[in-house]
Amino acid sequence: MFEAGIGACSSCWGPVRRLLDPRIRSYCYDRAGYGRSPAAPASTSLRTASVLAEELLDVLSSAGVDAPYVLVAHSFGALVAREVVAVLEPDDVVGLVLVDANQERAYQMIEEPLQPLAALAGPRALALLDQSGLLAGGDHYTADELHRLTLDAEREAKENMSAIETACLEDSSEALGQKGQFETMALGVHPVTVIRGDTKRDYQRVIAATRKRADLDTEARRVLEKLHDFLEREFDVRDNELQREQMRLSANSRFVQALESGHAVIATEPWLIADEVSSVWESCLGGGFEGSIVDICS
């Protein structure tokens, strides 16, 4: 089951799904207000990860897709996937593949220090980091998939669900942190893969584009320089720590550093994700899964 990040729709997973072993049954869906899904309900203002996890479980139940599940999640989608883990029985989720994933401490350690950038660049510039490289990095998408991505992006721009989910990010992070999944090793010995991209690269591009604006005053430029210093001096250390911490979800985990990707690993190195999904799937069939640390450069 694939779970997209904030601002991204199920269509973003096209290249990954095409590269999977054809024996693997994979499912995608759009959260309310995204892609081809119905409009968001009246309670739209409450779009925390736990609420979205319940929606996903309702979708799976309605579609007759029963556990066990392997969950594949990108960015904010990881919070949703882990809330699903919290709700289900221990062996209902038998594997996780987390792609440049958000986790409970990321808001405090990364998103909060970078909040001034939203005021300068515009909140959508940050909310759509999930789409950085998706529309531009079309090499791995078919013409039909790119057309679908474009249509989905147009709808998202109208519905602006990304702003609503971003506004709930702090609450989503705090609620997940209270569940103590790292301390209890929530996946037990079921396989977990953590794939890390280079999100710093994407933030640097946002800052570079913002610097070119003629309307920025002296104070705004000072703030931009401070944000730039944070990215250069602290971001990688914090992000690497946060990504690797997710390996504590299981005694059987591995870490993959994608050296040629920003945040949108889905678009730039889809085979990394497909390979890890296949490894986790084979492990569920008894093929074994060796926890390790891997640096991969395409």
Predicted local confidence at residue 88, as pLDDT:
97
Task: Work out whether strand 69-74 and strand 253-258 pair parallel, antiparallel, or are unpaired.
Answer: unpaired
Q: Which of 43, 37, 203, 35 lies closest to 118, judged by CA?
A: 203
**Phi, then psi, of 94 in degrees rounded to 5:** -105, 5
Q: Is the confidence at residue 128, as pLDDT, over 70?
A: no
Omega before 68 within 30 of 0, i.e. cis? yes
Instruction: Give kind and range of the element (H or E) at residue 213.
Output: none
Predicted local confidence at residue 288, as pLDDT:
61
For the stretch 272-293, pLDDT in tens is 999 999 999 998 887 665 554 5
CATH topology of domain 2-104+128-197+247-296: Rossmann fold (3.40.50)
**Alpha-carbon distance 157 to 131, whole Å?**
12
For the stretch 230-263, pLDDT in tens is 999 999 999 999 999 999 999 999 999 998 899 9
C-alpha dist (Å) from residue 242 to 100, 236, 246: 10, 10, 7
Q: Is the confidence at residue 139, as pLDDT, over 80?
A: no
Predicted local confidence at residue 291, as pLDDT:
55
Q: Is the confidence at residue 87, as pLDDT, over 60?
A: yes
Range scoring the smallest mean pLDDT among 84-93, 181-190, 195-204, 208-217:
208-217
Q: Are 169 and 51 in contact (CB under 8 A)?
A: no
Q: Which of 228, 127, 248 lies closest to 183, judged by CA?
A: 248
For the stretch 182-192, pLDDT in tens is 999 999 999 99
**Alpha-carbon distance 262 to 99, whole Å?**
11
Residue 296: pLDDT band with limits 50, 70, 90: very low
Predicted local confidence at residue 176, as pLDDT:
98
**Phi, then psi, of 157 in degrees rounded to 5:** -60, -30
**43-57, 121-135, 180-194: range with highest mean pLDDT:** 180-194
Instruction: Give kind and range of the element (H or E) at residue 184.
Output: helix 181-184
CB atoms near residue 250 (< 10 Å): 21
Residue 83: pLDDT band with limits 50, 70, 90: very high
